[in-house]
Structure 1
Amino acid sequence: MQDDDFSLFQAELRGVKPLKHDRADTGKPKPDRKQFNTLRQAATVSQSEIKVDGLSDQFVIDVGAEDALYWAANGMQEGQMRKLKLGQIPFDGSLDLHGMSVEKARDTLWEFLAEATKLEIRCVRVTHGKAVRMDGRKPMIKSHVNTWLRQHPQVLGFSSCLAKHGGTGAVYIILKRTMMDGRDE
């Protein structure tokens, strides 16, 4: 019976040529460990510095100190925006960005809007200031806030406040709410 197995094996190997070398091809060479660790460390550092919050500074819309801000997302009802502009929607949270750097203002605004959304708050006020600058340049925080709010996924619209709430130095912001407690958009 073993002869039968051997002859079957030989028949299966007929036409097969033996290998001429005894080393296996393992593909590309191993990376240099030192270089690999340096690259890994550099990637880790740069990732922690990049904040992925969806707010871009690539194109900032410059606005003047006294310019009124107004923006509504597609599908936002005109009646709701009119009420917002007239200060008829009460705001349940307020944030003051005066004196902050642009980066600090960005982080603070993002955290504030995230918290407001989590708490199902419908309307908030953000004071960005007018920053009338001696050098004649446009207000930085106001211009950035105007740009960021248009990009934020939870913002349905915003409008400059009434004078008693900060005028053109602040905005009312109307936020999306989730379908919690049977409420809907």
Structure 2
Amino acid sequence: MQDDDFSLFKNETRGVKPIKHDRADTGKPKSDRAQLAKLRQNATVRSNATIIDGLSDQFVIDVGPEDQLSWARDGVQESQMRKLKLGQISFEGSLDLHGMTVEKARETLWEFLSEATRLEVRCVRVTHGKAVRLDGKRPMIKSHVNTWLRQHSQVLGFCSCQARHGGAGAVYVMLKRTMMDGRDE
């Protein structure tokens, strides 16, 4: 056996098959243009569908992780809001939005409030979390919930919960009761 470079190379490459083409295989599947077009179309349809629920993301009120939330529709009595803040109006349903995407949280919140309204529920709790983010930005779900609840026609008011019910990571939400008029006054 010779020690020159050529013979060493020949020994090391024994059994190797030459490449038949000049393109590298990256291992990635080729994009399916028809599938991409369908996904784009579905995304467009989906964004139109979110307009139907009335919950807009055009302007989101930025809130901090420890910010206390409070809002009431015009005409809601201060005494009712005071009771809500003190946790004196018992909540009959609870929703936890932890770990959801903004879009999933919107859909889930809309369905939850619709069901609570249908059942004539007076007060619910929505846990949005505080999400102290590593990038230093404000909590996404908390900020969106704060904005969406103000837009929902069945929401009379909301405020951050008592510590025992989630504190700044959750809100009590007071809802209208439409079928039994007169009970909200």
Matches within 5 A, 1:102-181: 102-180=102-180
Q: Is the 8 A contact 1:69 1:159 kept in 2?
A: yes
**Aligned residue for 1:50?**
48
Q: How do residues 58-137 of structure 1 correspond to structure 2 at under 5 angstroms?
A: 58-137=58-137
Residue in 2 aligned with 1:36?
Answer: none
CA distance in 1, matches of 2:45, 2:132: 35
What amino acid is aligned across from residue 120 of structure 1 in structure 2? E
Question: Structure 2 length normalisation: TM-score?
Answer: 0.73
The answer as to whether partners of 1:130 and 1:169 remain within 8 angstroms in 2 is yes
Distance in 2 between residues matched to 1:118 and 1:73, nearest whole Å: 20
Structure 1 segments (4+ residues) deviating >3 Å: 42-49, 181-185
Give the conservation status (yes or no) of the 8 Å contact 1:56–1:148: yes
What's the CA shift string for 1:114-154, capped at 9, x where partnerless? 00000000000000000001111000000000000000000
SS of aligned partner of 2:174: strand
Q: Which has the larger radius of gyration?
A: 1
Q: 1:43 to 1:102 in 2, by over 3 A?
A: closer
Distance 1:156 1:43, change over 3 A: same
Root-mean-square deviation (Å):
1.9
- Where 1:90 maps in the other structure, the secondary structure is coil
Tell me: CA distance 1:86–1:182, structure 2 relative to 1, closer, same or farther (3 Å).
Answer: closer
Cα distance in 2 between the residues matched to 1:122 and 1:80: 12
Cα distance change on mapping 1:47 and 1:168 into 2, 3 Å:
same
Alpha carbons 1:161, 1:168 under 8 Å: kept:
yes
CA distance in 2: counterparts of 1:151 and 1:181, whole angstroms: 21
> Which runs of no fewer than 5 residues in structure 2 stay unpaired?
1-39
Identity of paired residues, percent? Answer: 76
Distance 2:91 2:112 in 1: 13
CA contact (8 A) 1:178 1:184 kept: no
